[in-house]
Chains A and B, each alone.
Chain A
C-alpha cells in the first residue's frame, strides 16, 4: 500500500468538501474493492475518505411499499431483513461472510462492477438512488463499465426499492469469488414485469424483450424464443459472450419457475 491521508468525516457535506480539496481522493465505504486495489498498489490516492462515520447512512426503513436501504448498510443486514425477500436472498448470496459483513450497498452500486449483484436489483426493483445532491432513477443510474450517473465527488446516501408482488433472483456464481458470471432478477408488479440482468454486459441493464415476453405469458417457456443480443457482452476466461447470452435466457427461466412454484404453493 502507498501512504495516504485517512479521514473519517461525520457528515456528507464534510466528506464532499474533503474530496473537493484532495489532490486525488477516494471514497471508502466497505472497502471490499478499494482496499484490495490499494494493497496491490494499483491505485495511489492522496486521501482516503471513509464514509462509514457519516450519521444516518446506515439502516433499513420501510415507507409506502418502498424499502429504503442506507448506503453504508452491510450486505448481511439486508440479508437478514424480511421486507423484500428477493433483496434479502440476493444480498445473502454476495461473496462470502467476510464480504457480507463489510461490503455496503452504496459501495457496490457506486462502483458499478459489471459482475456485482446489487445493480440487478437496482434496475429490476424500480429503485431510486439518493445522493447528497439529488435522486436518480435506477434505470438511469448505470452507464457503463464502472460508470454511473454519479458526478465527481457525489455520494450515494440511500437506495429505495419498490416491493414487488413476486420476484426471484437466479444467479450463476463464479465458484471462487461468488461474483455473478450472470445474474437475472425477475420481478412482477401486478401485470407488469421487470427483468434486471447483471454480469452479462458492461453494466447492469433491463432486458426489455424478456419483459415483454413474460408480460404476455408468465411461464419459463415464454423466454425460449426471445433473442438475446450478446454482441457487447463481456468475454473473459470464465465465459464467452455467447455463453453469457445463453445464461441470461436460462437464468430468466429459472427465476420465473421459482416464482411460479411459489405462487402455486
Chain B
C-alpha cells in the first residue's frame, strides 16, 4: 500500500515544522485519535479508534521520528500493536519546502504500509480506500488548522 501527495499550507516553514512535531496538533488532525502523548524525545504513543463502516477498531500506535532534518524533513515510523483487528506497520516521509517567498510551505508526503491479522483477512478490499480517506482527512484538517489559527492573528 503506497500513497503520496502534496499540500500547500498558508504558513511559513518554521510554523509548519513546529506543528508537525506537536502531539496536540497531530491528535486534532488524526481522525478518531483519542490521545497522543510524547513518551521520549521523538517518540509518541497514540490511541486511535478507527471507524470504517461497521468496524470499530481501537488500537494503540507507537510512533517514532527518524532521519530528522530540522525544518526540512522527517520520517514517521508507525507500529500498530495488538487490538483484535490485527496489526500494521508503516512509514510516512514528509518534506517541506518554502514557496511564495517563504509565506507559504509546500508539504510533500509519501506513505507506505502493510497490515496483517484479521483486518487484512476480511477487510483487504477496503483497507486501501480507508487508509486513503484517513490520510486525506488528516491533511485537510492540518491545512485547515493553519487557516483557522492564522486568520485572527493577522
Contact = CB atoms under 8 A, between A and B. Distances in A.
A238 B56 CA distance: 24
A43 B119 CA distance: 12
Contacts of A114: 126, 129
User: What secondary structure prevails in chain B residues at the interface with A?
Assistant: helix
Interface in A4-63: 24, 26, 33-34, 36-37, 40-45
A238 B57 CA distance: 24
Given A41-B84, A42-B84, A42-B85, A234 B53 contact: no
Given A40-B122, A202-B133, A235 B128 contact: yes
Contact of B55 (A24, A37, A232, A238): A37
Size category of the A interface is 20 to 34
Contacts of B128: 234-236
A42 B130 contact: no
Interface in B53-70: 53-57
Size category of the B interface is 20 to 34
Contacts of A24: 56
Contacts of A235: 128-129
A260 interface: no
A236 B124 contact: yes
Given A235-B128, A236-B126, A43 B118 contact: no
A36 B55 CA distance: 10
Nearest to A202: B129
B125 interface: yes
Contacts of B57: 42
A33 B53 contact: yes
Interface in A170-186: 179
Interface of A: 24, 26, 33-34, 36-37, 40-45, 111-115, 144-146, 179, 202, 232, 234-238
Interface of B: 52-57, 84-85, 118-119, 122-130, 132-133
